[in-house]
Amino acid sequence: MQYVSTRGDQCLGTFSDVLLSGLAPDGGLAMPAQIPTFSATELERLRPLPYAELAYEVMRPFITDIPEADLRKLLRATYRPEVFGSEEITPLTPLGDSGPALLELSNGPSLAFKDMAMQFLGHAFEYVLDRRGERVNILGATSGDTGSAAEYAMLGKERVNVFMLSPQGRMSTFQQAQMFSLNEPNIFNIAVEGVFDDCQDLVKAVNADAEFKARHDIGAVNSINWARVLAQAVYYFKGYFALGLPPGAEADFCVPSGNFGNVFAGYLAQQMGLPIGQLVVASNENDVLHDFFSGGVYQVRSAERVAVTSSPSMDIGKASNFERYLYLISGGDATQTLGWWDEVGAGRPVSLGGTPHWDAVQASGFRSGRSTHADRLATIRQVDGQFGRLIDPHTADGVLVGEEFRRPGVPMVCLETALPAKFGETVREAVGRDPERPERFQGIEQAERFCEVISNDVEQLKRLIADHLNPNS
Ligand SMILES: Cc1ncc(COP(=O)(O)O)c(C=O)c1O
Ligand SMILES: N[C@@H](CCOP(=O)(O)O)C(=O)O
């Protein structure tokens, strides 16, 4: 399989190439030249497979440059019960007879769904870098969960350094402690005076400097990296099969959304033939995605207008993966996508309502809704009271919005994107008690912190990276 950019027809190479390069040289995102599909019969063959074998079948058509035996080995090393807490890896838990089903994606090392793909990236980077004799310096941006997942996945990897940008003071106390307590030679935490979108823009600006990127082997672990999206598509298959529906029957999925990577992975699974009816995008107060899917206008939000909310990982005003979606909606038209994304970049609205592209959006089964702080508290309380299950505020966004779109006879799967332990303050406000946390995180807030603070300045960031990589120069 070859990859192309959303902004041009230039060939970006194979899976291993886009794994290492992250962003395309033209600033676009990597997309496979085609999206392979499974027939109904093939889906039935996949249904009983354990997670790692299913991951192989779903990902293999996109990864043709790693020998079959090696890819199977990488996936078996990644998706182990010792890492994810159960044989199923992503258990599906119905909330009573009347509620939706929770797809548990947060039982990995950092307690958020990011581990599902990030653990694979850790193994895949190591494999490809070893074979090529290369190194990578990952530059990432986090609003709270990508950071710890990436750092845990890359701990001790000799050929990998991680430079992780986060918005200063905007993550939960637990999220900050998870990242900043790491004192490891290959991990560099950098708090930026700004919001997540500023961090993401800094990542893109550094990548746009081709000379700096090549000289310092800059790579990416955000969902701008295709490997993240691909690995995330697998759990939609696993969740769908766990419902035990008759062949071809539809299921709906509701996904707490920020950077649009998770729900885009669901769209990919749907495009590959999985019978997903509705893909429900759940936003918080930062509801640019909801505005688009409900009204046809995509208008990014400037840093000053991004609200601080109690689902902080979703405090995002400009969703990177939306570019991939526009690319597919345009029928793979890179010129059209570039035109739209130029408007987005200039802060102008992209309006698809009333155009043939809007028909394509409608046909893709996307629905959307939003929640407020009060909604999330009420949902956490209600799910706890009715089903005896504590959920985190992001999952609560999903459960609430998912309810709006329940269809008789069609199961609704809500993605559990983090565990409540990560957001103790909000959970306590909702139910008056602290969520449980695994033994390894007891007292983490009291640990010493290792983090540098910079202003929202790309030159300062580049100097910091260069100084860490060449301390004697
Ligand atoms: C807990 C949690 N839920 C939801 C999201 C939103 O996911 P996405 O950015 O893939 O839309 C994130 C961060 O991205 C997250 O950390
Ligand atoms: N919510 C994320 C933001 C980055 O998302 P990504 O999926 O593009 O890495 C976070 O918690 O860091």
Which residue is associated with the tokens 């996936």? 75
Q: Which domains does the chain have, with CATH numbers?
A: 92-110+226-431 (3.40.50.1100)
pLDDT of res. 142: 97
Give residue 139 CA to ligand 2 midpoint distance, Å: 13
For the segment 318-364, what is each residue's pLDDT rounded down to a tens digit?
999 999 999 999 999 999 999 999 999 899 999 998 899 999 999 99
Q: Is the dihedral of CA 25, 29, 33, 36 positive or negative?
A: positive
Q: Which of 29, 223, 259, 316 to mutate to test the pocket of ligand 1 (most atoms within 8 A of CB)?
A: 259
Evaluate whether 435 touches 173 at the Cβ level (below 8 Å): no
pLDDT of res. 303: 87
For the segment 56-81, what is each residue's pLDDT rounded down to a tens digit?
999 999 999 999 999 999 999 999 99
Query: Does pLDDT of 138 surpass 80?
Result: yes
Q: What is the mean pLDDT of the chain?
A: 96
> Does the CB atom of residue 75 touch ligand 1 within 6 A?
no
CA angle 414, 419, 422 (to 5 degrees): 135
Give residue 231 CA to ligand 2 midpoint distance, Å: 15
Q: Which of 105, 204, 223, 259 to mutate to test the pocket of ligand 2 (most atoms within 8 A of CB)?
A: 259
Confidence of residue 10 (pLDDT cuts 50, 70, 90): confident
For the segment 237-284, what is each residue's pLDDT rounded down to a tens digit?
999 999 999 999 999 999 999 999 999 999 999 999 999 999 999 999
Weakest-pLDDT range from 60-64, 290-294, 407-411, 469-473: 469-473
User: For atom 9 of ligand 2, which residue has the closest CA?
Assistant: 222
Confidence of residue 227 (pLDDT cuts 50, 70, 90): very high
Which residue is associated with the tokens 């959920």? 391
Give residue 258 CA to ligand 1 midpoint distance, Å: 5
pLDDT of res. 473: 72
> Does the CB atom of residue 176 touch ligand 1 within 6 A?
no
pLDDT of res. 81: 98
List the beta bridge partners of residue 241.
none
**Closest ligand, as measured to the CA of 222:** 2
Work out the percent of the chain whose per-residue pLDDT is above 90. Answer: 96
Query: Does pLDDT of 235 surpass 90?
Result: yes
Evaluate whether 413 touches 92 at the Cβ level (below 8 Å): yes
pLDDT of res. 180: 97
- Other CB atoms closer than 10 Å to residue 433's CB: what's the count? 11
Query: Taking the model in full, what pTM does it have?
Result: 0.97
- Interface ipTM above 0.95: yes
> Does the CB atom of residue 146 touch ligand 2 within 6 A?
yes
